[in-house]
């Protein structure tokens, strides 16, 4: 069997009763976090662009954009919600594939689920097969060399959203194989944005979301596409590089779930800037640091956290995307504002932050690199006037636990929806497996 044939068998055969309770609860946490990210990023300029694009189409549809309540076709609405959810850079991540499944699979399942009015259980299953397909295919190709050139979410995303949509549309195995073959042809994502400081990173997720859904519909319609799109002679492995994980890409598929290894970022920034931002916050809380007195900062981290495009950039900053990628900016902003939140990055042009970032350096540390990816450590040295030096280090980073995910959701929801509506939405998500029609949930994320 080809890779896509094995995934098709899993996708078609998966049902709610086979899911462990911990997987069902994990899906709920992923939904909480995805919505919190979308609430937090709603005010950003990329969201304005995405909404303007949707309005320009003038197409009717049953799917709904988050907060605004704009209506349109499921694929286009999912694109908009995906773009906005990605814009905060606080989305969930699966370490071994470096993909942000929650910004793609969840918008796809919500929009299509609303269009066909699926049940909560059907929605949960679609999310699970979407995550599993996306990250397992991603693991089989992801490497440091891959990430220097290609964007994991843009390349791997269409497979996941295709799987989720295929499940909701009830494709058979042959149709799923053809749909996944088409999804592989709709993968795209180059990393030049990180060097130019531009915003197509968000739209890479959006297109991956919509393209995978389109592939599923084409599969349903009867398209014939390469069943060896992943493992063929000139398929994805041949083009992007086959990694060791490829040998176990479908091992324990349906009994062991990679979604359980997804984690949630505490900082609204690149995954590889999380450790330095968190450590900087600890430093300003435990030391009296006058940001005006900073003469230099040395950040030491693992190699991937230096080499990924855009991470080692000291300014000047002309766009929020540049700020969210830069290690130097994340640390400088925490030092200047004494907090770690979305507003740090909204103020990307701040004079003091740019000044501190400009005297900050990023270096790879052999000891920290040897501990990666199992651990994501960091060390920071802050040099101040009068030759004073403050140092700190941490072996690993603590990501959001479930309680923190819900707390963040409540904080973001209260800000944009109000406490009463946020509480109703929270209860609906917690009771997701008992919802008869997913529209009962989607109506609650529209601001009234």
Residue 194's contacts (CB-CB under 8 Å, 6 or more residues apart) are 201, 308, 309, 310, 325
In angstroms, what CA-CA distances link 442 with 67, 123, 171, 445? Answer: 10, 12, 24, 6
Q: How far apart are CA 127 and CA 161, in angstroms?
A: 9
Same domain, 247 and 294: no
Confidence (pLDDT) at 27: 98
Containing domain of residue 244, as a range? 3-265+419-445
Residue 213's contacts (CB-CB under 8 Å, 6 or more residues apart) are 74, 75, 78, 108, 111, 112, 161, 162, 165
- For the CA atoms of 155, 158, 160, 166, the dihedral, rounded to the nearest 10 degrees, stands at -160
Confidence (pLDDT) at 355: 98
- CATH number (domain holding residue 287): 3.30.1330.120
Residue with tokens 């699979």: 105
Q: How far apart are CA 122 and CA 167, in angstroms?
A: 8
User: What tokens were used for 254?
Assistant: 């349906």
Confidence (pLDDT) at 339: 95
Confidence (pLDDT) at 144: 86
CB 279 within 8 A of CB 365: no
Q: How far apart are CA 2 and CA 227, in angstroms?
A: 7
> Could you say which DSSP state residue 61 is in?
-
Residue 160's contacts (CB-CB under 8 Å, 6 or more residues apart) are 99, 101, 104, 105, 130, 131, 133, 134, 135, 137, 212
Task: Supply angle C-alpha 50, 78, 151, rounded to 5.
Answer: 75
Same domain, 242 and 349: no
Q: With the C-alpha atoms ordered 372, 373, 376, 382, is the resulting torsion angle positive or negative?
A: positive
Same domain, 364 and 435: no
User: What tokens were used for 373?
Assistant: 């990816």
Same domain, 254 and 316: no
Residue 240 lies in a domain: yes
Q: How far apart are CA 30 and CA 103, in angstroms?
A: 10
How many helices (H) and strands (E) the chain has is answered by 22, 8
Judged by DSSP in three states, 295 sits in strand
Buried b / exposed e along 129-157 (16+ C-beta atoms within 10 A): bbbbbbbbbbbbbbeeebbeebbbbbbbb
Same domain, 233 and 284: no
Q: How far apart are CA 283 and CA 340, in angstroms?
A: 12
Confidence (pLDDT) at 325: 94
Average pLDDT across the chain, whole number:
96
Residue 414 lies in a domain: no
In angstroms, what CA-CA distances link 74 with 357, 371, 433, 445? Answer: 42, 42, 22, 16
Same domain, 243 and 280: no
Same domain, 157 and 250: yes
Residue 424 lies in a domain: yes
Judged by DSSP in three states, 119 sits in coil
- CATH number (domain holding residue 185): 1.10.4100.10
Residue 231 lies in a domain: yes
Residue 161 lies in a domain: yes
Confidence (pLDDT) at 138: 97
Same domain, 65 and 99: yes
Confidence (pLDDT) at 174: 98
Residue 404 lies in a domain: no
Same domain, 179 and 299: no
Q: Which residues of the chain have pLDDT under 70?
A: none
pLDDT tens for each residue of 199-211? 999 999 999 999 9
Longest dimension (CA), the chain: 73
Tell how strand 92-94 and strand 262-264 pair up. Answer: antiparallel
Q: How far apart are CA 307 and CA 84, in angstroms?
A: 26
Domains held by the chain: number: 2
Residue 403 lies in a domain: no
What residues are paired with 79 via a beta bridge? none
DSSP code string of 192-252 = HHHHHT-SHHHHHHHHHHHHHHHHHHHHHHT----TTTTTSTTSHHHHH---GGGGGTTTT
> Could you say which DSSP state residue 67 is in?
B
Residue 329 lies in a domain: yes
């Amino acid at each position: 069997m080809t890779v896509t044939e094995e995934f098709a068998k899993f996708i078609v055969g998966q049902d709610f009763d086979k899911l462990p309770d911990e997987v069902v609860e994990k899906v709920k946490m992923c939904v909480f976090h995805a919505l919190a990210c979308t609430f937090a990023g709603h005010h950003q300029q990329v969201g304005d662009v995405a909404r303007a694009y949707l309005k320009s189409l003038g197409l009717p549809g049953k799917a709904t954009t988050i907060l605004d309540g704009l209506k349109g076709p499921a694929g286009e609405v999912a694109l908009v919600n995906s773009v906005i959810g990605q814009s905060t850079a606080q989305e969930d991540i699966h370490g071994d594939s470096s993909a942000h499944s929650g910004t793609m699979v969840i918008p796809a399942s919500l929009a299509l689920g609303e269009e066909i009015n699926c049940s909560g259980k059907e929605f949960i299953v679609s999310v699970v097969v979407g995550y599993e397909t996306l990250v397992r295919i991603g693991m089989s190709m992801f490497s440091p060399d891959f990430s220097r050139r290609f964007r994991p979410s843009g390349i791997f995303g269409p497979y996941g959203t295709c799987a989720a949509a295929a499940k909701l549309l009830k494709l058979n195995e042959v149709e799923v194989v053809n749909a996944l073959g088409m999804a592989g042809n709709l993968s795209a994502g180059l990393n030049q944005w990180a060097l130019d400081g531009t915003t197509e990173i968000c739209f890479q997720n959006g297109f991956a979301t919509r393209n995978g859904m389109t592939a599923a519909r084409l599969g349903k319609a009867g398209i014939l596409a390469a069943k060896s799109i992943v493992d063929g002679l000139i398929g994805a492995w041949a083009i992007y590089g086959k990694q060791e994980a490829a040998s176990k890409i479908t091992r324990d598929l349906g009994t062991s779930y990679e979604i359980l290894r997804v984690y949630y970022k505490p900082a609204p920034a690149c995954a590889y800037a999380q450790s330095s931002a968190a450590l900087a916050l600890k430093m300003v809380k435990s030391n009296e640091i006058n940001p005006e007195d900073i003469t230099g900062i040395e950040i030491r981290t693992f190699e991937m956290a230096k080499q990924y495009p855009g991470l080692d950039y000291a300014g000047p900053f002309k766009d929020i995307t540049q700020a969210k990628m830069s290690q130097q900016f994340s640390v400088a902003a925490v030092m200047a504002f004494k907090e770690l939140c979305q507003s740090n990055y909204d103020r990307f042009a701040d004079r003091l932050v740019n000044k501190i970032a400009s005297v900050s350096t990023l270096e790879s540390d052999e000891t920290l690199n040897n501990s990666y990816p199992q651990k994501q450590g960091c060390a920071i040295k802050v040099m101040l006037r009068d030759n004073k030096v403050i140092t700190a280090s941490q072996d690993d980073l603590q990501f959001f636990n479930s309680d923190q995910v819900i707390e963040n959701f409540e904080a973001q929801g209260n800000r944009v929806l109000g406490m009463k509506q946020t509480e109703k939405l929270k209860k609906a998500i917690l009771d997701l497996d008992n919802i008869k029609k997913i529209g009962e949930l989607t109506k609650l994320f529209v601001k009234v």
